[in-house]
């Protein structure tokens, strides 16, 4: 293996690393934390008077207008303190709404109200209380994202610790596993201080041969107990390294991964785990089926872009199973990776925190993997996560037990409570139907009074979320992601609460393909049923509005608007079930990189890549060159790193554009290609730079057009 250059390439944020690292050593200082605590306490006491103050309707409307104007003015000012102010204002108005709901809109003592009214009413208020709780915990969780920078490694490489890089696998294709092993072996770390172990629970001879070819260590265990957690624990029995880095078999690390991650372990001797983002270079089912890849943040970006950074402030970052480094002595103290739940990663970090260990998060993507490749696979993966978090909530609830600070307990609690959104989401999708179809009185108040309290709560929460989450999740998309999953996670989460041992670990399939477009009717059936009910409810409500001559007109209009919103969300969910044809097994990455080609006349030309994959590359030439199709040429990717010439056949020659298909690669050529696609330190840092900022109106308009497109597909066979 070629000698490596142990130098981190430009991956750090601007500024002096050492100075910034020192400033983050203790996270936000004790004085600032005490100040925040005092502000919160004072805010609670001062806010209660506002929350509980009874106001006539016109004064409530005036109060809401003043608050909205204040929020609009504040929202124009940059700064974290202003964001905290908007959180406080949103909290005040949401709490006022919940107080009003509990004290003035729930009086069912009148015998005119029957059990139908009461059942629907208490179902809705329970869902609203859940949403309010998650909203408040979410504000705490994202109060001040830490934005921790890397700590540079010492210049003396003989002081660097030993690391075992573990790649668990079960049944994934060798083609998926191969680049991960190559990239792991090529990480910038002293060869005598790093080993790459492939943990094969599939017991496959072809994987053993692959490891022998590439120079990795093949590990096979006699059984498959405890799935991935058991696989890692088995490897730990024969591991003697000071640290363990873990990658899922499709998560390809950059060369700089260890240098970016390891510095904090030398700085903080109590640091047990450092997590980096899970970045995905392929579109997930939402992005592929809706055509939103790179133009709209995907489902994972909120968690890895904001929530984990927010957790880091409170020393509550948790392990996500891949793209992370763990201290071996800390794992030994808790008996290895947790095996009692199917989310062994989060449970492991919770146990480490209980023992007094620290955790950390660096928001620099230093590895990239494949997203789930079908909606059904995506749902199965999320069901596992939901069931696992429910299991932890049941058997190792963060609110109880020793070792955690209050903010840690609340951050872990919010991460677990989130996965109970299934039933509340179904309630919100069906609540207006109770009035439209059954004339159920679910709120004892006029529609105008309800709107005067509810709209400020909803508008300010949306505005605050857009400010905080805009770069990572566009407005209204949370409803789409949750609606897709809600009907599927209700039963697993409830059963896990009753019987934590229910269910088993399942592996998300990667590297699959589809040779046709199709509509996944089985997966889409719940959305179709809910959509049909909402359309029926809307039609009935519209009929009543025009035939009853103004009777309950305000309530009808309010519920019709609510139903319209639900129809848009459910239509988009149905659109996601239109699985798009996918025959390319190697994902094509858009990247403008230096390259060099040898021309047929023997000369060389400096060029730039437009995109590249494991199968070929498209180049932009400085001038037009006429090359016949099928001509074999040579190309060198990233020659500034090292010059490796690769044979390739011309598949397209159009002016200044040249497309090439690689011939069979030697191992040195393959290593260079893996470096060019995946291994660069800055490979994924600028992924979403050109994405437009979140705008509430634009986001809803996009959802509306996607839902309309789904309706057109349903009635037009030619569009399928």
Of 284, 312, 345, 694, the catalytic one is: 345
Residues 6+ apart with CB under 8 A from 453: 60, 96, 97, 100, 101
Q: Please tell me the distance from the alpha carbon of residue 388 to that of residue 394, in angstroms, as a whole number.
A: 10
The answer to whether residue 201 is catalytic is: yes
Q: Please tell me the distance from the alpha carbon of residue 308 to that of residue 314, in angstroms, as a whole number.
A: 10
Q: Under DSSP, is residue 359 helix (H, G, I), strand (E, B) or coil?
A: strand
Q: Quick one: tokens of 224?
A: 């498959």
Q: Please tell me the distance from the alpha carbon of residue 426 to that of residue 74, in angstroms, as a whole number.
A: 34
Q: Using CB atoms within 10 A of its CB, is residue 198 exposed (0-12), middle (13-18) or buried (19+)? A: buried
**In this structure, how many other beta carbons lie within 10 angstroms of the beta carbon of residue 107?**
10
Of 201, 284, 309, 694, the catalytic one is: 201
The answer to whether residue 110 is catalytic is: no
| Cα 401 from chain centre | 29
| Cα 485 from chain centre | 14
Sheet holding 252-253, edge to edge: 252-253, 367-369, 279-280
Q: Are 470 and 693 in contact (CB under 8 A)?
A: yes
Q: What share of the chain is helix, strand, coil (3-state, %, to 5)?
A: 50, 10, 35
Q: Under DSSP, is residue 103 helix (H, G, I), strand (E, B) or coil?
A: helix
Strand partners for 648:
633, 662
Q: Under DSSP, is residue 657 helix (H, G, I), strand (E, B) or coil?
A: strand
Q: Are 154 and 160 in contact (CB under 8 A)?
A: yes
Q: Quick one: tokens of 609?
A: 């890549």
Residues 6+ apart with CB under 8 A from 340: 347, 391, 395, 396, 500
Q: Under DSSP, is residue 130 helix (H, G, I), strand (E, B) or coil?
A: helix
Strand partners for 589:
612
- Residue whose structure tokens are 């059904």: 376
Residues annotated catalytic, as ranges? 201, 345
């Amino acid at each position: 293996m070629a000698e490596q250059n142990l130098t981190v390439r430009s991956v750090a944020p601007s500024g002096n690393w050492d100075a910034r690292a020192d400033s983050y050593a203790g996270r936000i200082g004790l004085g600032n934390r005490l100040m925040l605590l005092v502000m919160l306490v004072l805010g609670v006491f001062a806010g209660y008077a506002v929350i509980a103050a009874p106001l006539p309707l016109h004064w409530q409307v005036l109060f809401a207008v003043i608050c909205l104007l204040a929020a609009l003015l504040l929202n124009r000012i940059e700064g974290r303190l202003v964001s905290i102010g908007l959180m406080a204002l949103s909290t005040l108005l949401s709490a006022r709404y919940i107080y009003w709901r509990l004290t003035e809109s729930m009086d069912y003592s009148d015998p005119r109200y029957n059990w139908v009214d009461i059942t629907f009413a208490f179902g809705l208020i329970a869902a609203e209380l859940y949403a309010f709780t998650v909203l408040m915990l979410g504000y705490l969780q994202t109060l001040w994202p830490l934005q921790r920078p890397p700590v540079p490694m010492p210049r003396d490489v003989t002081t660097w610790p030993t690391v075992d890089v573990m790649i668990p696998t079960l049944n994934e294709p060798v083609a998926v596993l191969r680049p991960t092993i190559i990239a792991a072996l090529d990480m910038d770390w002293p060869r005598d201080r790093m080993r790459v172990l492939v943990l094969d629970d599939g017991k496959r001879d072809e994987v053993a041969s692959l490891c022998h070819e590439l120079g990795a260590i093949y590990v096979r265990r006699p059984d498959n107990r405890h799935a991935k957690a058991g696989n890692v624990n088995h490897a730990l029995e024969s591991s003697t390294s000071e640290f363990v880095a873990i990658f899922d078999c499709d998560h390809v690390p950059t060369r700089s991964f260890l240098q970016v991650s390891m510095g904090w372990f030398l700085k903080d001797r109590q640091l047990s785990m450092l997590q980096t983002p899970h970045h995905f270079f392929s579109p997930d089912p939402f992005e592929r089926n809706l055509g939103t890849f790179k133009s709209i943040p995907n489902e994972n970006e909120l968690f890895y872009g904001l929530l984990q950074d927010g957790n880091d402030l409170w020393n509550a970052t948790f392990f996500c199973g891949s793209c992370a480094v763990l201290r071996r002595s800390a794992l030994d103290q808790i008996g290895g990776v947790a095996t009692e739940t199917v989310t062994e990663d989060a449970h492991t970090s919770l146990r480490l925190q209980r023992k007094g260990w620290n955790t950390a998060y660096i928001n620099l993507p230093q590895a990239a993997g494949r997203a789930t490749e079908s909606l059904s696979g995506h749902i199965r993966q999320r069901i596992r996560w939901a069931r696992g978090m429910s299991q932890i909530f049941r058997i190792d609830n963060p609110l109880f037990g020793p070792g955690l600070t209050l903010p840690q307990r609340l951050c872990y609690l919010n991460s677990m409570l989130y996965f109970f959104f299934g039933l509340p989401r179904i309630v919100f999708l069906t609540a207006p139907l109770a009035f439209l179809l059954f004339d159920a009185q679910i709120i004892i108040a006029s529609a105008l009074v309800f709107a005067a309290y509810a709209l400020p709560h909803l508008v300010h929460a949306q505005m605050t979320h857009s400010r905080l989450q805009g770069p990572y999740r566009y407005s209204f998309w949370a409803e789409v992601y949750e609606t897709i999953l809600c009907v599927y996670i209700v039963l697993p989460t409830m059963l896990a609460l009753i019987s934590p041992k229910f269910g088993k670990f399942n592996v998300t399939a990667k590297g699959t393909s589809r040779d046709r477009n199709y509509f996944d009717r089985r997966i889409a059936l719940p959305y179709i049923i809910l959509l049909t009910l909402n359309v029926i409810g809307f039609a009935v409500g519209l009929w009543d509005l025009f035939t009853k001559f103004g009777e309950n007109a305000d309530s009808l209009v309010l519920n019709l608007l609510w139903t319209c919103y639900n129809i848009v969300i459910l239509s988009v969910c149905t659109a996601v079930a239109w699985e798009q044809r996918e025959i390319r097994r190697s994902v094509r990455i858009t990247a403008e990189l230096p390259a060099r080609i040898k021309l047929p006349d023997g000369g060389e030309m400096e060029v730039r890549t437009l995109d590249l994959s494991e199968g070929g590359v498209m180049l932009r030439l400085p001038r037009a060159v006429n090359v016949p199709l099928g001509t074999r040429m040579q190309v060198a990717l990233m020659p500034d790193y090292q010059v490796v010439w690769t044979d390739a056949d011309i598949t397209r020659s159009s002016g200044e554009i040249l497309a090439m298909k690689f011939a069979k690669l030697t191992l040195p050529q393959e290593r260079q290609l893996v470096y060019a696609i995946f291994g660069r330190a800055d490979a994924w840092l600028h992924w979403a730079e050109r994405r437009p900022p979140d705008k509430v109106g634009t986001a809803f308009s996009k959802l509306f057009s996607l839902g309309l497109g789904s309706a057109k597909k349903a009635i037009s066979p030619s569009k399928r």
